[in-house]
Amino acid sequence: MIVVAVLFAAAAVAIACAVDRCAPALAATAAIEETHLRDVGQIVAQQAGAAALRAEVARVTADNAGLSSALGAALAAARRVRIERVVSVSTGPVVASGEVPLGRPCLVDIGDEIDVRASEVQLRSEAGNMMIVGSLSAVRVRPEPVSTIATGVLSAEMARVLETPPPPPPERGWSTSLVLVVGASAFIAGAVAGVAIVL
């Protein structure tokens, strides 16, 4: 029994060390992929800590009373709500087109350039539900002066958001596991069978 226990402990240590050694490689792979994704025009989320998220929330709500109010309501709507992601996106200047309404003055003429801008905050409640608050603005950028044509907060009634469910929590109790240990720096290979407790 003592030998089995020692081997099982050695297997756990070996696996933990292997994971620690793999972490830098995984981070490097992610960084290379991020560069590639940006080069091909994809929007990629940047990793940020809580302080950076708070600063970004302050930035997107500074001149947006509607978004600030919607965010406050979301934070108060459930227990222990945390901010997971802050998104700021824009189409960039696009040329307006379509038919001009007869007999009506237009804020945007055909050929003008407009920019549709979106700010979004994604939150997660203690129970695991995701909430999204955000706003959209249409801005005429050319000809100058730059002017906001319309802005509004996202409507819950008009929204549809899908996400994959979170993985189920591990089951508690006793389980039998088979662990294969292969030493990278030493010629050690062994299969260890033992009893594990899932806490």
Give pLDDT tens digits for 30-87.
889 989 999 999 999 888 898 999 999 999 999 899 999 999 999 999 999 999 999 9
In angstroms, the Cα distances linking 10 to 90, 161, 188, 189 are 53, 46, 11, 12
Which whole number is the average pLDDT over 165-194? 54
Contact (CB, 8 A) for 72 and 93: no
Give the pLDDT of residue 74: 95
What is residue 64's predicted lDDT score, i.e. its pLDDT? Answer: 93
Decide if 130 contacts 124 (C-beta within 8 A). Answer: yes
Length of the chain: 199
Cα separations (Å) of 197 from 15, 174, 180?
17, 5, 18
Would residue 66 be called left, alpha or beta, if left means φ above 0 and alpha means ψ between -120 and 50 degrees? alpha
The pLDDT, as a whole number, for residue 183 is 47
Q: How far apart are CA 125 and CA 196, in angstroms?
A: 32
Over the stretch 95-104, which tens digit does the pLDDT of each residue have?
A: 988 877 777 7
Q: Which residue has the higher pLDDT, 6 or 22?
A: 22
Question: Does the structure show a pLDDT above 90 at 27?
Answer: no
pLDDT for 83: 93
- Structure confidence at residue 172 (pLDDT): 66
Strand (E) or helix (H) holding 173: strand 173-182
Looking at residue 93, its pLDDT comes to 93
**Looking at residue 117, what is its pLDDT?**
95
pLDDT of residue 18: 52
Distances (CA, A) of 94 to 65, 100, 146, 199: 26, 17, 14, 56
User: What pLDDT score was predicted for residue 129?
Assistant: 93
Q: What is the pLDDT of residues 109-152, one digit of tens each?
A: 889 999 999 999 999 999 999 999 999 999 999 999 999 999 99
Question: Amino acid identity of 193?
Answer: A
Has residue 10 got a pLDDT over 70?
A: no
Question: 29 with 69: CB under 8 angstroms?
Answer: no
Q: Which of 5, 11, 3, 1 is CA-nearest to residue 182?
A: 11
